[in-house]
């Protein structure tokens, strides 16, 4: 029987400038959809997992189009609530070489930002689920979203469902009067598996790695053992801490790897040199989607799960849009060492 995963968060209309144009140059935008937890759900659906995405969409053509897009990729949308006035939007300017990418949010008063406790029947939604996933973006949107996220985590805890979290610190989102450091610890306390990077750990949990310089194009995996140990000491429920290791040589060239710590062993994935990035937005979500799939599929083999996540995310950097539209076969081929990119006939 297929494993079932439930994710919860906001999905937005993504408007990206064509190619590498700046906002000031663009006369048109490429419209797709995206959002942390939706991206994870799409990845999992591609891998054959029963993936449900929970959100709130406006009852209008944009909300309907968004729902249809999710359904196209096999995501279960049955428990999406309708209401509110608008779909959130984010604008993307893709960087190149020494110029970084830029994101501008337009999500105030979105349908999702106005969710409230009691809107979702979490006991019913989570029935039969193997995993519940959320990210730090969700509680950053509004107090209501933070409250509902906590509701879901507590329901999952009662049911014995594994809770996964991507800390995902976004400084531009925390606007409603509370900081990530005030809100996130209570939510993270209910998690079994935590993913993050060096900025997330410091800004969200106040835990800082030592001797790390991500702008040098190389990141030492061992530097994260202490961070993982500190997270586990602070949050006893956490069983695994995973860190994505991105070395930024330029906007087009990143090194990419990850480490997983289970309280005893620090597993390290191979390092990929992604020399011609097509689109890095959603890279962390594609890693999380791959990790959840790996942990559910290769039970007891954390190294293989980590390797799958890293390879899946490496491939995402070659795909336009937020969603990682790759198959298990394609990921396993890269895991096996075939990075030739030869035509498949």
Residue 345 has pLDDT above 50, yes or no: no
Q: Is the pLDDT of residue 200 over 90?
A: no
245: left (phi over 0), alpha (psi -120 to 50) or beta: beta
pLDDT value at position 282? 84
pLDDT digits (tens, 9 = 90+) for 107-162: 999 999 999 999 999 999 999 999 999 999 999 999 999 999 999 999 999 999 99
Q: CB atoms < 10 A from the CB of 216, how many? A: 10
With 0-12 / 13-18 / 19 or more C-beta atoms within 10 angstroms meaning exposed / middle / buried, residue 309 is buried
Distance CA 204, CA 170 (A): 10
What's the pTM? Answer: 0.93
Mean pLDDT of the chain: 92
Query: By three-state DSSP, how is residue 205 classified?
Result: helix
The DSSP output letter for 47 is: T
Give CA–CA dist 171/180, Å, rounded: 9
Percent of the chain with pLDDT over 70: 93
- The model's confidence at residue 340, banded by pLDDT at 50, 70 and 90, is low
For 40, counting Cβ atoms within 10 Å of its Cβ (0-12 exposed, 13-18 middle, 19+ buried), the class is buried
- pLDDT at position 217 is 46
Alpha-carbon gap, residue 189 to 204, rounded angstroms: 13
| Region 303-318 average pLDDT | 96
Give the tokens for residue 62: 């944009």
pLDDT of residue 170: 86
Domains annotated on the chain, with CATH: 4-334 (3.40.1190.20)
């Amino acid at each position: 029987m297929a494993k079932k995963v439930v994710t919860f968060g906001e999905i937005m209309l993504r408007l990206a400038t064509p190619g590498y144009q700046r906002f000031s140059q663009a006369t048109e935008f490429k419209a797709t959809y995206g959002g942390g937890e939706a991206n994870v759900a799409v990845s999992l659906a591609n891998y054959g997992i029963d993936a449900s995405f929970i959100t709130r969409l406006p009852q209008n053509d944009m909300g309907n189009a968004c729902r249809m897009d999710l359904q196209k990729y096999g995501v279960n949308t049955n428990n999406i609530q309708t209401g509110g006035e608008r779909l959130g939007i984010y604008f993307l300017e893709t960087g190149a070489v020494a110029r970084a990418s830029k994101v501008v949010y337009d999500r105030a008063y979105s349908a999702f930002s106005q969710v409230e406790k009691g809107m979702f029947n979490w006991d019913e939604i989570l029935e039969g689920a193997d995993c519940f996933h959320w990210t730090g973006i969700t509680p950053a949107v509004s107090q209501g979203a933070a409250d509902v996220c906590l509701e879901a985590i507590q329901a999952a805890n009662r049911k014995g469902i594994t809770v996964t979290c991507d800390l995902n610190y976004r400084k531009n989102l925390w606007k409603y009067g509370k900081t990530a450091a005030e809100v996130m610890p209570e939510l993270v306390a209910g998690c079994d598996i935590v993913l993050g990077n060096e900025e997330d750990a410091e800004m969200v949990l106040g835990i800082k790695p030592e001797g790390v310089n991500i702008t040098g194009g190389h990141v030492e995996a061992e530097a994260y053992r202490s961070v993982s140990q500190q997270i586990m000491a602070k949050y006893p429920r956490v069983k695994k801490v995973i860190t994505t290791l991105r070395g930024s040589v330029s906007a087009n060239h990143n090194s990419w790897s990850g480490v997983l710590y289970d309280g005893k062993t620090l597993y390290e994935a191979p390092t990929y040199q992604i020399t011609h990035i097509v689109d890095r937005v959603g890279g962390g979500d594609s890693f999380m989607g791959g990790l959840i799939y790996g942990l559910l599929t290769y039970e007891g083999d954390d190294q293989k799960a980590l390797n799958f996540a890293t390879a899946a995310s490496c491939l995402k950097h070659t795909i336009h849009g937020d969603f990682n539209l790759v198959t298990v076969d394609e990921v396993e081929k890269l895991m096996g060492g075939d990075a030739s990119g030869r035509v498949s006939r």
